[in-house]
Structure 1
Amino acid sequence: MITQLKRRSNFRNAIIAASCPLLAVLSAFPAQASSHREAPFITTQPKIDGTDVYAFNSYENGRSGYVTLIANYQPLQDPYGAPEFFKMDPNAIYEIHVDNNGDAREDLTFQFKFQNVLRSIALPIGNQNVPIAFPAAGQVNAPNSASLNVNERFTLNLIRGDRRSGQAAAVSRFGTGATTFDKPVDNIGTKTLPDYAAYAAQHIYPVTIPGCSTPGRMFVGQRREGFAVNVGTIFDLLNVPLSVITDPSKINAAPNPLADKNITSLALEIHKTCLLSTRTSDPVIGVWTTASVRQSQLVNPNPPAGYQTTISYGGAYVQVSRLGMPLVNEVVIGLRDKDRFNSSLPQNDGQFAAYVTNPTLPRVVEIALGLTPGSAAPANLPRQDLVTAFLTGIAGVNRPMTVTPSEMMRLNTSIPAVPFPQQNRLGIIGNVLAGGTDNAGYPNGRRPKDDVVDISLVVAMGGLCVANGNNNAFGFGADCNPGKVPLGATAFKLHDAVDQAVQPFLGGFPYLNTPLPGAQ
């Protein structure tokens, strides 16, 4: 289908001049740093704030047939965030879910639980041993170093079926059978951790996955933030020259405001045969991440000595964070329903359907600019193109054989991975524009290089409808055609002046780069 579309239209020749004021505002649409601080409640709980999900066929040499899943948490980490830095919450559970039959219900859940072990290292001061206040008492070069004042550990269970009532079994270290893993301490600085890359690499574990004959790999720890977006400038009333953000040659004109931040990653690499359904031949999986906390919390006015003893927790786990496709809760879901979306399950996404089929975003832009209604907003209502992008997947690319419309990241595991240098930053859309062969990018999963901000701009303003054309190549329906998209091919020129493709990444697992140190 993609090949037919490329024959039918050469979009590079279809791009026409844009109205600068209009495009300037349009380029502000998704600039919320993916899912960083996207809903009212989660801003109060940064340790369980899911920020980005990546799901892609591994492109590291020698890893053909493997799928990489990454869930990022704890946004906007300053490298110098001493002395506590950014430990994970031991009273929460973090989960990566996989739907492998299209019914919008998890079939596999990878559930992480953390434990912070306090050593309370003490020094002899006079006639007393007094606990130190620092995160380490010397250099750290290996897992579970005796110099660490707090050692972070975690377990991982694979749950088949319902995430709360299904069959659970522990993921273990390949070769040893150990079921508890050490998490690397955050990058305190170069004196404490003189070679952080080598230290962190010792925490890449080969793992045995229950019910899977092929070992996988796992890494959990701090990484350099890989997401790029011109977030500060956008929200300072578009404080950037219009000539920049409407000129495709200036995609990298502005520095990435997130370039000096770190993030915490939960990364798995699993052979695709261990993720797919054994009952069907469907190669498409759906992926999303959630975090949950205990239902009740009691604050102790006189907490005992120890570590994180101020609050006592009880009751069932309640989901408070959810993320699949980037930018959905930021720019699609209405403000009053953002917390509700974070607590909801994919099988119940029908309650949010109007936000997708009848989006407010294009009309809000027209109101802000004083434009005549319909002069910029696509008129193909209900927006079947957005239903396809966000809720079902694209037919012939990443739509399951049978599908319940629901929001999650969908990946076709049968589409070959593309080496990093040849990846198109605009994913499938960029592949069509360039006449290339890269069908392995967003919205068919998401790779670190994929510029989901710019891709989402194209989709929001009807770019997929333009690609669909009058012959209904994407199967959006008769109302999705270029005549009902006022901006037409100009949508393909939109960008936020920050280039995702030039961000530094590793060539292999866990792909996201070494975190920035707190001090050089």
Structure 2
Amino acid sequence: MKKILYNIKGSMKTLLYSLAIVGSTFTATASSHREAPLIADDPLADNTDLYVFRSPGTPEIQETITIIANFIPLELPHGGPNYYTFGENIRYEIHIDNNIATLGDDIVYRFLFTRTDEDPTTFFNIRLGAENIKMNYTCEKSTDGGLTFTTIVSGGTVPPPYIGPRSIEDPVVGLGTTYEALIADAITTASTGETVFCGQADDPFFVDLGGIFDLGDAPRADGMPHDGVACYNTHTIALQIPINMLQKDGLNAADADDILDGDFVIGVWASASRPAMRTLNGDGTESVSGDWIQVSRLGMPLTNEAVIPIGAKDAWNGADPYSEDGAFYTYFYNPELALYMDDDLFGGAVPAFAPLRIQKASLGTYDFTNGADGLYPLKGSLAVEETALDEDLFGGLLLPAAGSPRSVDLLPIFHTGVPNLAPYQLATGKPDGNPLAAGKPFINNFLPNGGDMLRLNMAVPVTDRTDPAFSTEGLIQAAVLGLTDPLYATTDLEFIPNMDGFPNGRRLEDDVTRIELQAVAGVVLAAIGLWYDDYEVGVSPSPVTTDLLDVLTYTTGIESNDTSFKTSFPYVQTPWSGTGKCSGVVIDYEATLDCTAPSGLSATSITDVSATISWIPTPSAGFYNVIYKTAGGIPVSVTATVPGVALTGLTPCTNYLYKVVTKCGGNKISSGWFMFSTSGEDCRLGVATESVLGLFPNPAKDVININYFTNTENSVNMRIIDVTGKEHMNTSYSASNGINNFQIDVSALKAGVYYVQIKNGENEVTDKFVVTR
């Protein structure tokens, strides 16, 4: 610890000087489809998403970083006759900061595109092997902060839009090839060694746009959630860059001191700029002049879209991470979203966020709701000495003032990166009630000499996409494993699956909408030992309380992309065809409610550490989520495309509950809970000591099935209440040892969010369900 502190203090002069110049602000933009008024009118220059991750694949490929910058939102696959393309007179740029000692970009990649019409006599985009609006590009690179540039790709090829099979595949009237061949031919190697691709792709982002922006109705209270980006394309600029080309000293990942080596942190942001003056010449042409003006930028996901208020969005798009306005700080110290996660403010106004409640009395003391002080009362005290909150380290940045409760978690997550120092280590190994102690390291992407960037520690290994432990919950799931899995029960630094996930970089699969809502709800505070209010130090048997489980199991209803990702560069999927299933087909969303719950569930091949779960396939299923947990434990989700999955890494002599969720497009429906027990020497009966509750279907219309597991035989009291606390049912039932099934009529309930609460003696469990009409 002393060595770490000595090294950090040795660079404090440079660091604090950089922070003073930057102005220490905190704003961001990302996952920004039409996120600001001005850029909504300029789609060709609109950054939609940015992804930065250590490349999955062979060991050689894993020594590279993939950066994907997407532009042009919500492209209809059939959007002809003038299909979507990159724009001329736009500078598309990817900026990289890799050195805490330098202010500004260290590496910049710049892309400029040109159009050519090979057959201007036709209105068709492709005819007789000729292509109109044909795009080529030049890629330039700067390694001196943008002062000088060198061309590294000249005449780069962009595949045409995926118009349809006649235009692409027909050897007489079309191009006589396949779209996969066009993608492969467009992948090129730059003169400096990077792999480059520019072209149209499926938009990898997934979110219920309609629900989220209808005043936070996600999951929807009335009706099923729908992926608002499903079946749309976008335009991708993808780079695969050797780690030693990005690391400031030219080192490979194998040269790192450990998997959280701070010298391997990079910050990435993307931008688009246009000339200041555009002149319409009156003859169908236009001319441009003047300085280049930045009109869009992108760093952390969703921030300009859902955090920055509408009156400030355009100004933010024109700034850079090194000159951000300090006035934006308040939107992260006291985020608007937190107002809807606080029952004393406007929590009741957004019923969908009912599971998301911020700590108001963590450890009986600390309040992180808007306007409260968070950890500020500890500023300058002995308690924070030799932690990141020490005034000699980063206390001035992370504990700036009273009334800034989220400066201690949202600020480092979004604005500076998170250091591998207490308190930013998992609660594993910390004394009960002392979050400021050293714990289990799990993140270090600290790079505080700039503002809004997507930060990645390149030394963190890759989680294989076929690993059953791979999770779209990214670093949240890594924290869950680090806190609960016996494999990671020590304070040793070791790789935990998904440490390479958002917010340590961003993988294509990461569910950033859910992760960021959980972060605003205080899940990161809980991970480091600032538990939720229903945990009492020295009294509660476990910090895995109802409040924590509510946040961890929260879902918007859309948890994955509408198609798969490729296993090799550029990883994004082939764009949707203009004549395929996404080409304007009318979808009857009510018909999709027939999505069938899985049936015939069974657990076989049970050993002390593994089991195989199988079920009868459902015809409408796109894929399945298998969810399993111990009694009172944190659910683990595994995705499957076939009706069977092997669970590994289980604990001997333990009761497990499991269920299977069918995913049909934007809809899902769950089975009930089932149970199996792992084997082992000297197993005792009744390992599970807590009750477990499962509800299906959820959302429900007329009837909801309740599966209630208990290891006792007793009379239980069941209540149904709404988000205001109003009681709609209060009944007693006889429950037997094992799983009990109750069917409840909810046809008289209005559409909305409700809670089932079952009390068995002193044991009480609660779960949420939604009624639709």
TM-score with structure 2 setting the length: 0.53
1:233-267 superposed Cα distances (whole Å, 9 cap, x missing partner): 344563865599xxxxxxxx745232210010000
Corresponding position of 1:16: none
Corresponding position of 1:322: 297
The 1:266/1:78 distance shift into structure 2, 3 A limit, reads same
- Say whether 1:156 aligns with 2:156: no
- Return the alpha-carbon distance in structure 2 between the equivalents of residues 73 and 293 of structure 1: 14
- Return the alpha-carbon distance in structure 1 between the equivalents of residues 306 and 166 of structure 2: 42
Corresponding position of 1:336: 311
Corresponding position of 1:56: 53
- Return the alpha-carbon distance in structure 1 between the equivalents of residues 559 and 411 of structure 2: 27
Shift of 1:488: 4.8
- When structure 1 is superposed on structure 2, of 198-207 and 264-273 the one drifting more is 198-207
On the 8 A contact 1:48/1:92 being kept in 2, the answer is: yes
1:147-177 superposed Cα distances (whole Å, 9 cap, x missing partner): 11232110000012333xx1211113xxxxx
The 1:240/1:449 distance shift into structure 2, 3 A limit, reads closer
Paired residue for 2:232, among 228, 237, 261? 261
- Return the alpha-carbon distance in structure 2 between the equivalents of residues 223 and 363 of structure 1: 37
| AA aligned opposite 2:279 | L
The 1:405/1:167 distance shift into structure 2, 3 A limit, reads closer
- Return the alpha-carbon distance in structure 2 between the equivalents of residues 515 and 277 of structure 1: 35
| AA aligned opposite 1:274 | M
- Say whether 1:35 aligns with 2:35: no
The 1:138/1:33 distance shift into structure 2, 3 A limit, reads farther
Corresponding position of 1:228: 206
| AA aligned opposite 2:200 | Q
- Say whether 1:277 aligns with 2:248: yes
The 1:205/1:115 distance shift into structure 2, 3 A limit, reads same
Corresponding position of 2:660: none
Corresponding position of 1:207: 190
Shift of 1:33: 9.2
1:28-71 superposed Cα distances (whole Å, 9 cap, x missing partner): xxxx9921011111000000100100000000224021000000
Shift of 1:456: 0.7
| AA aligned opposite 1:136 | I
Corresponding position of 1:135: 125
1:342-364 superposed Cα distances (whole Å, 9 cap, x missing partner): 11111123522221112222125
Corresponding position of 2:479: 432
- Say whether 1:406 aligns with 2:448: no
- Equivalent pairs, count: 434
Secondary structure of the 1:83 match is coil
Paired residue for 2:461, among 416, 436, 445? 416
Q: CA RMSD in A?
A: 2.9
On the 8 A contact 2:163/2:578 being kept in 1, the answer is: yes
Could you tell me which runs of 5 or more consecutive residues in structure 1 were left unpaired when the two chains were aligned: 2-31, 122-130, 140-146, 173-178, 210-214, 245-252, 304-308, 472-481
Shift of 1:376: 4.3
- Say whether 1:107 aligns with 2:106: yes
- Return the alpha-carbon distance in structure 2 between the equivalents of residues 271 and 187 of structure 1: 30
Higher relative contact order (CA 8 A, sep 6+): 1
Secondary structure of the 1:394 match is coil
| AA aligned opposite 2:38 | F
Corresponding position of 2:288: 313
The 1:70/1:239 distance shift into structure 2, 3 A limit, reads closer
- Return the alpha-carbon distance in structure 2 between the equivalents of residues 104 and 409 of structure 1: 16
On the 8 A contact 1:35/1:52 being kept in 2, the answer is: yes
Superposition pairs for residues 432-511 of structure 1, below 5 Å? Answer: 432-434=479-481, 435=485, 436-470=496-530, 488-500=548-560, 503-511=563-571
Corresponding position of 1:216: 194
- Return the alpha-carbon distance in structure 1 between the equivalents of residues 247 and 338 of structure 2: 38
Corresponding position of 1:291: 272
In our comparison, the structure showing a higher alpha carbon Rg is 2
Corresponding position of 2:771: none
On the 8 A contact 1:153/1:183 being kept in 2, the answer is: yes
- Return the alpha-carbon distance in structure 1 between the equivalents of residues 30 and 164 of structure 2: 26
On the 8 A contact 2:64/2:241 being kept in 1, the answer is: yes
- Return the alpha-carbon distance in structure 1 between the equivalents of residues 527 and 83 of structure 2: 46
The 1:93/1:486 distance shift into structure 2, 3 A limit, reads farther
Could you tell me which runs of 5 or more consecutive residues in structure 2 were left unpaired when the two chains were aligned: 2-28, 170-177, 252-261, 351-355, 359-367, 375-403, 421-441, 486-495, 532-541, 581-773
- Return the alpha-carbon distance in structure 2 between the equivalents of residues 447 and 239 of structure 1: 23
- When structure 1 is superposed on structure 2, of 430-439 and 261-270 the one drifting more is 430-439
More helix, by proportion: 1
On the 8 A contact 1:449/1:503 being kept in 2, the answer is: no
Shift of 1:489: 4.8
Corresponding position of 1:301: 282
The 1:390/1:241 distance shift into structure 2, 3 A limit, reads closer
Paired residue for 2:339, among 352, 357, 363? 363
| AA aligned opposite 1:70 | I
- Return the alpha-carbon distance in structure 2 between the equivalents of residues 411 and 197 of structure 1: 30
- Return the alpha-carbon distance in structure 2 between the equivalents of residues 53 and 153 of structure 1: 22
Shift of 1:91: 0.7
- Return the alpha-carbon distance in structure 2 between the equivalents of residues 33 and 229 of structure 1: 13
Secondary structure of the 1:96 match is strand
- Say whether 1:196 aligns with 2:186: no
The 1:504/1:402 distance shift into structure 2, 3 A limit, reads closer
1:181-228 superposed Cα distances (whole Å, 9 cap, x missing partner): 11111111111112211221111112222xxxxx22110000011111
The 1:151/1:242 distance shift into structure 2, 3 A limit, reads closer
On the 8 A contact 1:392/1:399 being kept in 2, the answer is: no
The 4+ residue runs of structure 1 with deviation greater than 4 A are: 239-244, 397-402, 485-489
Shift of 1:425: 0.8
The 1:33/1:416 distance shift into structure 2, 3 A limit, reads closer
The 1:402/1:226 distance shift into structure 2, 3 A limit, reads closer
Corresponding position of 1:382: 405
- Return the alpha-carbon distance in structure 1 between the equivalents of residues 562 and 128 of structure 2: 36
The 1:400/1:499 distance shift into structure 2, 3 A limit, reads closer
Paired residue for 1:394, among 418, 426, 435? 418
The 1:401/1:386 distance shift into structure 2, 3 A limit, reads closer
On the 8 A contact 1:55/1:68 being kept in 2, the answer is: yes
On the 8 A contact 2:445/2:456 being kept in 1, the answer is: no
The 1:279/1:294 distance shift into structure 2, 3 A limit, reads same
Secondary structure of the 1:325 match is coil
- Return the alpha-carbon distance in structure 2 between the equivalents of residues 100 and 395 of structure 1: 15
| AA aligned opposite 2:210 | G
- Return the alpha-carbon distance in structure 1 between the equivalents of residues 288 and 280 of structure 2: 9
More strand, by proportion: 2
- When structure 1 is superposed on structure 2, of 433-442 and 152-161 the one drifting more is 433-442
Shift of 1:292: 0.2
| AA aligned opposite 1:206 | T
- Return the alpha-carbon distance in structure 2 between the equivalents of residues 462 and 368 of structure 1: 15
